Amino acid sequence: MALALKFRGVVVGLAALLCALAPLAPVSRAAAHANLVAADPAPNAVLDISPGRVVLKFTEEISPNFSDISVLDTLGDRVDKKDAAVLPNDPVSIAVSLPELPKGSYTVSWRNLSNIDGHAVRGSYAFSIGVPVVAPPALQAPLLQSPAQPYLRWGMLIGAMGFFAAISFRLLVLTPALAGQSSDTARKATGRVVARLGRGFGLLFVAASLGLLLTQAAVAGDVSLLKLAMLHDPLVGAICDPEEVWQMTDEMLAAQAEWLPQYADEIEKAEARLADHAANGTGVKTMDGFRGVARIATESAS
C-alpha cells in the first residue's frame, strides 16, 4: 500500500508539472494568434500616388478596443489620421485613414488582440510613394524589459505548479490515503491545510500575471496591456463591466498624463473620448457627487 501511494505521488507530481508548464510552452504562429495575411498597400510596395488608407487583414477576428495601426514617416512622426478601426462588415480587418502623403518611405506599425485565443500580436512593414522603399532600422529588443520580469515569471511558474500539485495531491493521494482513517477531524484538518496551500499558490499566479502585464504595459506604453491588467484584476473584474474598465483606464491616463510620456498618443485619444462622453452624455453613469467611474448601488463585499 505504501509503495503504491509513493508511486501514485510521483505520477501526480509529474502530471501537475506538465499541466503547469503547458500554458508556458511555445505555440506555432501558424496555429494560433491573429497573424497578418494581407495588407493594402502591400509590404515593400512602391506606389505612384498616396493611398487613401491602410487596410490590414488577419487570420482571426480581432478586438476593436485592443487593435491599432500607426503610419510613420522616416523621422518617426505619425502621419495617419489616428482613426484606426475594425471594419464593421469584416471583423478580421482593420483600417486607418491617410492624408495626402508626399513622396517618401513610410512604416506601418500595427498591433492586435485576437477575439478567438486572446493573444496579442504586433508587427510592422514598409511601403513607399514615388521612391524606393527604405526599410526601417531593425531594433534589438533587450533580453529583459524590466528587472522585475524574471521574478514575476518565476512567480507565475511556481504559482501554477503549486496550484495544480495541491489539487492533484488532495484528490489522488490524500483522499485515498485517509479514506480508512477513523478520525474525521484529522481528515478535515489535513484537507484544509492542502486547500489553503492551493489557494495561496493560485493567488501567487494571479498576482504575478497581473504584475507582468503591468510591467509590459509600462515599458512598452501599450494601453491594451494596461486595460487587460485592469480587467483581469479580481476586484475590478467582479464589479466592473468592460466599458467601465475602458473609461476607468481613460480617466487614469488623463489624470496621470504628466508622468506617462510613453502613453502620449493614447492619452490624447483618452482625453478626446472623455470629452465626447461629457458632451454627449454617453459615459458610464456615476453616483451623485462623485467624479469618474463609480457605479450606483454596487457592493463588492458584505
pLDDT reading at 22 higher than 50: no
Contact 71, 108 (CB under 8 A): yes
Average predicted confidence (pLDDT) for the chain:
75
Q: Tell me the C-alpha distance between 46 and 50, whole Å.
A: 10
Give the neighbor-by-neighbor strand order of the sheet with 104-113: 46-47, 120-129, 104-113, 68-72
pLDDT reading at 16 higher than 80: no
pLDDT reading at 108 higher than 60: yes
Percent of the chain with pLDDT over 90: 21
Q: Categorize the per-residue pLDDT at 146 as very low, low, confident or very high, splitting at 50, 70 and 90.
A: low
**Can you give the residue ranges of every domain in the chain?**
45-129
Q: Regarding the domain delimited by 45-129, which CATH topology (the fold level of the hierarchy) does it fall under?
A: Immunoglobulin-like (2.60.40)
pLDDT reading at 256 higher than 70: yes
Percent of the chain with pLDDT over 70: 68
